[in-house]
Every structure is written in C-alpha cells, then in structure tokens.
C-alpha cells in the first residue's frame, strides 16, 4: 500500500453547483449531496467554489453576526461528515475572528477542519466591492492534504498582482486549486484561460479553476471550470451554464502533478452563450425568489417576443402568460405577430384593450390639459396604462411582471417610467438592440440545452424583419427620433463600454451632432435607469453594478 507521503494519484471531484445566497441549510445540503456523489466516483477530494456555504456574493449579509455563525456551524457539521473516511472537502465560507472578517476556504478531512485560508486580494471594481465587507487575509502557505501540498488561491488571488500564486509555489505547493465566483460576460472564458495560463507560466505549477454556477440578482455565474497542466496544455474543460460534478484524475509524474483525465466539453459560441446566460439568470431569479409564474406584455415587437421565448425556455409554457394590450394605433401586423408568437411558444395569450382606460385618463385630465397640444404626455399615458394593467394582473395572480426594454432604449431613455419599465426583472436589460436581433435569429434555429420551450421558429420572421415601433402614434417608428440601431449601438458601446471621448467616436465615422445628442440623452436618462428592474449582466459594463454615474451631472464632452 502506498503511503500518503508517496501518493502518486489524486482524484479531485470538481463541483460547479448553484448555491443560493443566504440559504445556508440548502447550500450545506448541496455540499453533502456533492460529497456523496464524489464518493461514488472514487474521489479523494471534493472542490467546491468561493463562499459556497453562504452563496456568492453575500454582500452585506456578512455584516450580520448571526449569518456568520450559521455559516460556521454548517462548515463544522460538514467537517464532521468527513470522519467516514470518504472524500475531503475544500469549501468557501465567510469567517470572522478577533482580527477581522474574511472571505475564506476551509479544508475538511478526518472529521475536522484541518486548515483555513483567507483571500488576500479583495476585488473592488465593477460588480465587486469586497473591501466594504472583508479584511485582507494573510499571504497563504500550502495545505498538506493526504501527503499532497495544495495551494488554494481564492478567485482574485490569481487575477491580481499581489503574488499569491508565486508565494504558494515558493513555499512548496504542488498543485494550485482555485475556488472562484466569476460572473459571466461575453468572452469571459477566454479571459479566464489567459489569467490561469499566466500563473501556470510564472509558477510552473498546474492550476485547477473551479467556478460557481447560477444566477444571483443581475449576475450569472457560468461554471466552465477547467485546468491547465504545467506544460500549458488544457487539462480538462467542464461545460458552461450546466450544474455538474466532474471527476479529474491527477498523477505524479517526474516530480510534478499532471491531470491525466477529465471532461472536455464544448464552450458555446457568442449568441448561444449570451442567450443561455439570459436564460439561466432569468430562471434563477424567478425560482429563487419564489415566483410561481410570470406575465408580460406581448406587443408584436422584437423585445417582448425574445423575452417571451426566454421565459418559456426557462420556466415552461404553463408558467408564462402573455398579454396583448392594443390601442387605436396598434397595427394589424402587431396583433397577428403577437398571436403567432404566443401560439409558437404554446403559452397563454390574452387580449386586454386599453382604449377605455386611456380615454378615461384623458377625460379626467381634459380640464387640466386644456389649451395644450397633444404629444409625448398622451403617448406615455398609453404606456402607463399598459403598465398598470400588467401590475394589476401581477397583484391578482401573484405573477412576476417581466419588463422587456433593451440596453439601447434604456441608454437613451426611450422608455416610460411606471409604464413599459414596470416589472420585477428584465432578461434583456444588458443587450443592445442589434444583439436582440442576433439572439432572436439564433433561437429560431437552435434550442439551448435544458430549455423547456419548443423547437422551430418561435419568434415570427415578420417580427424580426419589420421596422421597430412603439406604436404610440400613427405610422411611428423608432427611427423617427433615434439614429438607425446599428449606428446608435456603436455610439453607445463607445460611450458606455469603452468610455471613449466624443472626438474618438466621431473619428470612427459618426456625425458629430448625433454623437453629442446621444451622449446628452445617455446622461439625462440616468434617473430612469436608477428606477429600472434588475436584469442579466451580459456585457463587461452593465447599468447598475458596473456603471455608477451621478444623476445630477452637467458634464458634456465637447472636445
């Protein structure tokens, strides 16, 4: 029998699971089930993700002593389980002692907590603000687990420049195991690979990257766990957007460790990845918050159509209710397109005309508005009537209202407060208009894994082909008041994602007056965005967590 000091094989089960923030008992149950699964696969060690026991990110929950105590009790209970001789466990949890409060991992084996390591590099940018709630951990050393010296850098410890991985290598680590809570944005898998390769090259050690799965408010954690061997080859690649536990086998070769076996899953391309992120984020928001079903206004336009498709794919047709809310300016095309879309998706479809309530509002306001010209105020009354009806259905039947505005519209304020902005969650909040079209075309050709919706064309081609319109006045189109969406989206990406100056944007070929107008609209719509529903983060800079501009703001770039 080989002694632990001569151990030549280490079987690590990597668990990319979907914890729920605050559900300590539920997350503990998930960890226990994962350990049982790992045991049946013959694993020596189960690797779970960052702050798994609390869910990630727990934000200000970790300021509550009762919450921290519950997390610690769960860790101790799980440690007791390891007395059975089965797999050891590495699991993330928030911990507190007399020196501070830390983002930590516990290593559990032989019935006890054999080691604790704290996160050193606390991210404080974009969606992260860990310095608000955690203290910086001490530079870690490796943990001796059954004769193998494991380095355990936690998430940002491999991204930053503090030298955590280098310190672990210099102090004798043989393998680096990194538990992560890394949210999705477009192209993130390639970026993670580059980050890990940099550490592999600098340390000469293999690095296993385990990432959380699931939606948490606006963030989507996409899994896609992987490892690189010391020779810079991809050792294994787990699936993206799928909850799974994979066994990886590591062997000692020539004085180092090599991942000898593990899964090699396909990573989705751009449109598929974005769609699946929207799907996962929406499904988890609805289910984790306890909504039994959802309702949305189906206008016959592209935005509400793709939201309906995402809702049916996420929840199933029986949990989705679509409502057409026609007024005198609603075209026959829109009535037909909405009905065809609902029929293709198989969900409930109701028609609630708004002529009578709009007329009632106008009548009630006739004396107040006497002597004024009809305009945007009257158009917004239509939208607000629709919003009120959808909220009434929500209140009566307990359905969450899905709001359907895209990022292009929300950028320039092309949305009505207390109208089409009403709702609990927006699956396309971080998709520009042209991206909405691209994802709609993709969904008509493919059904993503795990989707509950039908195959075939679920968004009628006429919805994709026709000019977009809010239909709030006769013959209205969006381009009456906005540049063509390809132009608008490019300007907005330059302003929002890239923080480019207006001179740089004009140099790309855009009209200067248009660029300045869009910048102005972007700034003055900030107050609306502050009141908008949460929605899935898809781009590198979404509104809310990533981009925090003042509402009161007189700066304009006239350079």
pLDDT digits (tens, 9 = 90+) for 324-369: 999 998 889 999 999 999 999 999 999 999 999 999 999 999 999 9
* 544 belongs to a structural domain: no
**If you search the block for the tokens 């007024």, which residue do you land on?**
327
Same domain, 215 and 352: no
Same structural domain for residues 66 and 177?
yes
Do 426 and 294 contact (CB within 8 A), yes or no?
A: no
Are residues 324 and 183 located together in one domain of the fold?
Answer: no
Angle at 350 between CA 457 and CA 383, to 5 degrees: 95
75 annotated among ligand-binding-site residues: no
For residue 479, pLDDT over 80 is answered with no
Query: Which of 192-206, 418-432, 517-531, 532-546 is predicted least confidently?
Result: 532-546
Tokens 């974009």 locate to 126
Among the listed residues 217, 185, 224, 345, the one whose alpha carbon sits nearest the alpha carbon of residue 284:
217
Co-location of 227 and 338 in the same domain: no
The SS3 call for residue 241 is coil
Same domain for 414 and 360: yes
What pLDDT, in 10s, does the model give residues 210-233?
999 999 999 999 999 999 999 999
Please tell me whether residues 248 and 321 are part of one structural domain. no
pLDDT of residue 558: 83
Exposed / middle / buried, residue 45 (Cβ in 10 Å: 0-12, 13-18, 19+): buried
Assess whether 124 and 170 both reside in one domain: yes
Residue 518: inside a domain: no
Instruction: List the one residue out of 232, 206, 200, 213 whose CA is nearest residue 10.
Output: 206
Residue 123 has pLDDT above 90, yes or no: no
53 and 186 share one domain: yes
Q: Is 404 annotated as a binding residue?
A: yes
110 in the same domain as 187: yes
| Separation of alpha carbons 114 and 212, rounded Å | 23
- Token pair for residue 20? 């729920």
- Angle at CA of residue 91, ends 88 and 95, nearest 5°: 130
pLDDT reported for residue 3? 45
Of 137, 106, 98, whose CA–CA distance to 31 is shortest? 106
Q: Round the average pLDDT of the chain to a whole number and report it.
A: 93
Instruction: Write down the pLDDT at residue 129.
Output: 84
Q: What is the pLDDT of residue 473?
A: 65
Residues 32, 433: Cα–Cα separation, whole Å: 43
| Interval 48-103: pLDDT, tens | 999 999 999 999 999 999 999 999 999 999 999 999 999 999 999 999 999 999 99
* Cβ-proximal residues to 442 (8 Å cutoff; 6+ apart), any chain: 271, 272, 275
The owner of tokens 């696969």 is 41
Helical axes 376-397 vs 355-364, angle rounded to 10°: 120
The residue range of the domain holding 26 is 10-262
pLDDT-derived band at 128 (thresholds 50, 70, 90) equals: confident
- Flag whether 528 is marked binding: yes
Q: Is 409 annotated as a binding residue?
A: yes
Domain count, the chain: 2
> Is residue 76 one of the residues assigned to a domain?
yes
539 is in an annotated binding site: no
- For residue 528, tell me if it sits in a domain: no
258/277 same-domain check = no
The sign of the dihedral angle between the CA atoms of 123, 125, 127, 130 is: positive
Asked if residue 311 and residue 423 are part of one domain, the reply reads yes
Is 553 domain-assigned?
Answer: no
In a shared domain, residues 43 and 81: yes
- Is 22 part of any domain? yes
* Annotated binding residue 182: yes
pLDDT band at 472 (very low <50, low <70, confident <90, very high): low
Consult the annotation and say whether 299 binds a ligand. Answer: yes
Answer whether residue 207 shows pLDDT above 80: yes
Give the DSSP H or E segment for 529.
helix 526-530
In a domain, 550, yes or no: no
Region 174-179: mean pLDDT is: 97
Active site residues: 50, 119, 155
The response to whether 188 counts as a known ligand-binding position is yes
User: For position 406, which CATH number holds?
Assistant: 3.40.50.620
Say what the pLDDT of residue 1 is. 36
Distance CA 277, CA 325 (A): 29
End-of-domain residue from the set 262, 279, 309: 262
> How far is Cα 120 from Cα 160, in angstroms, rounded to an integer?
10
Q: What pTM was computed for the model?
A: 0.93
Q: pLDDT tens digits for 274-326?
A: 999 999 999 999 999 999 999 999 999 999 999 999 999 999 999 999 999 99
Give the bridge partners for 11, in sequence order: 249
8 A C-beta contact, residue 342 and residue 349: yes
Give yes or no for residue 4 having a pLDDT over 70. Answer: no
Task: Establish if 490 belongs to a structural domain.
Answer: no
Instruction: Quickly tell me which residue has 């559990």 as its tokens.
Output: 108
Q: Which of 230, 262, 294 is the last residue of a domain?
A: 262
Final residue of a structural domain among 262, 292, 309: 262
**Position 468 pLDDT exceeds 80:** no
DSSP string, 393-457: HHHHH-PEEBP---HHHHHHT-S-TTTTT-SSBBTTTT--HHHHHHHHHHHHH---TT--SPSS-
**Would the annotation count 232 as a binding residue?**
no
Residue of 263, 256, 191, 248 lying closest to 230 (CA atoms): 256
Q: What CATH number is given to the structural domain containing 103?
A: 3.60.110.10
Chain segment 382-415, per-residue pLDDT in tens: 999 999 999 999 999 999 999 999 999 999 999 9
Structure tokens at 476: 């209205």
Give the pLDDT of residue 2: 41
Q: List the beta bridge partners of residue 351.
A: 324
Query: Residue 480 — very low, low, confident or very high, per pLDDT cuts 50/70/90?
Result: low
Helices (H), 171-259: 188-203
Give the range among 168-177, 188-197, 230-239, 472-481 with minimum mean pLDDT. Answer: 472-481
């Amino acid at each position: 029998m080989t002694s632990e000091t001569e151990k030549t094989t280490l079987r690590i089960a990597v668990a990319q699971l979907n914890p729920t923030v605050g559900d300590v008992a539920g997350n503990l149950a998930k960890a226990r089930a994962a350990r049982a699964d790992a045991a049946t696969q013959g694993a020596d060690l189960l690797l779970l993700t960052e702050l798994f026991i609390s869910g990630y990110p727990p934000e200000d929950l970790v300021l509550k002593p009762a919450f921290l105590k519950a997390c610690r009790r769960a860790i101790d209970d799980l440690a007791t389980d390891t007395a059975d001789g089965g797999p050891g466990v590495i699991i993330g949890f928030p911990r507190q002692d007399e020196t501070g409060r830390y983002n930590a991992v516990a290593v559990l084996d032989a019935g006890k907590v054999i080691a604790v390591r704290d996160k050193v590099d606390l991210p404080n940018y974009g969606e992260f603000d860990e310095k608000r709630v955690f203290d910086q951990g001490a530079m870690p050393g490796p943990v001796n687990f059954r004769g193998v010296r494991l380095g355990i850098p936690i998430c940002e410890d491999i991204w930053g420049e503090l030298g955590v991985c280098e310190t672990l290598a210099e102090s004798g680590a043989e393998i680096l195991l990194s538990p992560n809570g890394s949210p999705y944005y477009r192209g993130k898998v390639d970026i993670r690979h580059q980050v890990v390769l940099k550490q592999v090259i600098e340390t000469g050690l293999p690095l296993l990257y385990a990432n959380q799965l699931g939606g948490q408010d606006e963030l989507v954690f996409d899994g896609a766990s992987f490892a690189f061997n010391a020779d810079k080859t991809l050792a294994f690649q787990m699936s993206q957007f799928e909850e799974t536990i994979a066994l990886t086998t590591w062997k000692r070769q020539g004085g180092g460790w090599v991942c000898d076996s593990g899964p090699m899953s396909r990573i989705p391309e751009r449109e598929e990845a974005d769609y699946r992120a929207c799907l996962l984020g929406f499904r988890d928001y609805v289910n984790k918050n306890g909504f039994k079903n959802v309702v949305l206004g189906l206008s016959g336009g592209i935005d509400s159509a793709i939201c309906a498709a995402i809702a049916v794919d996420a929840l199933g047709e029986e949990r989705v209710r679509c409502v057409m809310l026609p007024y005198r300016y609603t075209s026959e095309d829109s009535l037909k397109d909405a009905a065809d879309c609902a029929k293709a998706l198989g969900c409930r479809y109701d028609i609630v005309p708004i002529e009578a309530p709009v007329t009632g509002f106008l009548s009630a306001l006739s004396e107040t508005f006497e002597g004024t010209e009809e305009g945007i105020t009257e158009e917004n009354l239509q939208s607000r009537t629709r919003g009120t009806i959808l909220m009434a259905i929500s209140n009566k039947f307990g359905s969450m209202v899905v709001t359907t505005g895209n990022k292009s519209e929300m950028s320039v304020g092309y949305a009505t407060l207390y109208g089409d902005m009403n709702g609990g969650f927006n699956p396309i909040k971080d998709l520009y208009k042209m991206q909405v079209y691209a994802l709609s075309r993709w969904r008509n050709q493919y059904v993503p894994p795990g989707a509950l919706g039908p195959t075939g064309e679920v968004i009628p081609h006429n919805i994709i082909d026709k000019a977009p319109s809010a239909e709030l006045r006769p013959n209205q189109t969006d381009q009456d008041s906005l540049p063509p969406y390809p132009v608008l989206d490019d300007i907005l990406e330059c302003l929002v994602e890239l923080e480019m100056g207006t001179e740089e944007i004009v140099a790309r070929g855009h009209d200067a007056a248009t660029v300045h107008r869009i910048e102005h609209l972007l700034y003055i719509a900030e107050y609306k965005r502050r009141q908008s529903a949460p929605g899935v983060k898809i781009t590198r800079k979404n509104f809310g967590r990533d981009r925090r501009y003042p509402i009161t703001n007189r700066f304009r770039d006239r350079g």
